[in-house]
Amino acid sequence: MPIVQRSSFSITESRDASLGIPGLLPPQLDPLVVGQIHEPRLLEKLPTMTIEAPSFEFIRHNSTTGGPGMVAEGAAKPEAVAATDRVIVTARKIAVHGAVTWEAIADFDAFESYWQAELFAQVFDVEAAQILTGDGTGQNLTGLNATSGHSDARRRHCRRRNLA
């Protein structure tokens, strides 16, 4: 029969940097901030372009009626007609204001650069959420989950390639 040994440990955490052992020095402040973990930026995986106006116009191909077919020599050719419309989209802004006291920046040199990076990461998190799940109301983007047709096209593509 194997010998089983159990040990019990108790770990306590102090969040107040002013606390220390009475009569001794206070704890040393780590120069690095242990921050949140964020997903990589989704927009880096998608094609993008820079615009110079507050809105962007493009032609959207919605559907096609008719199409190619087999014909005899000299016979009339089948016609394909594209149904299109013009779409104007406006640029949207994601913004945040980071409130940090001058005292916090003066006391902790690395905090200013950490805080700027953290705010960028939070903006990228909101950006990804809008791209995926935005509902299109107010200033929200119309996300992929709220856009009709893209999941049906993916299903059709997978069926044609026997991937489903």
Q: How far apart are CA 123 and CA 136, in angstroms?
A: 18
* Gyration radius (Cα) of the chain, Å: 29
State the residue for tokens 């009709």. Answer: 148
What integer best gives the mean pLDDT of the chain? 82
Least Cα distance to 133 among 122, 145, 115 occurs for 145
pTM for this entry: 0.63
Classified as helix, coil or strand, 28 is coil
Average pLDDT over residues 50-79: 95
Classified as helix, coil or strand, 113 is helix
- Between 7-11, 40-44, 81-85, the lowest mean confidence (pLDDT) is in 7-11
**Residue 61, pLDDT above cutoff 90:** yes
**Residue 163, pLDDT above cutoff 60:** no
The residue with greater pLDDT, 147 or 60, is: 60
Q: Across-strand partners of 86?
A: 59
Least Cα distance to 145 among 154, 135, 153, 155 occurs for 135
What pLDDT was estimated at residue 156?
60
**Residue 120, pLDDT above cutoff 90:** yes
What pLDDT was estimated at residue 11?
47
Average pLDDT over residues 142-164: 68
**Residue 15, pLDDT above cutoff 70:** no
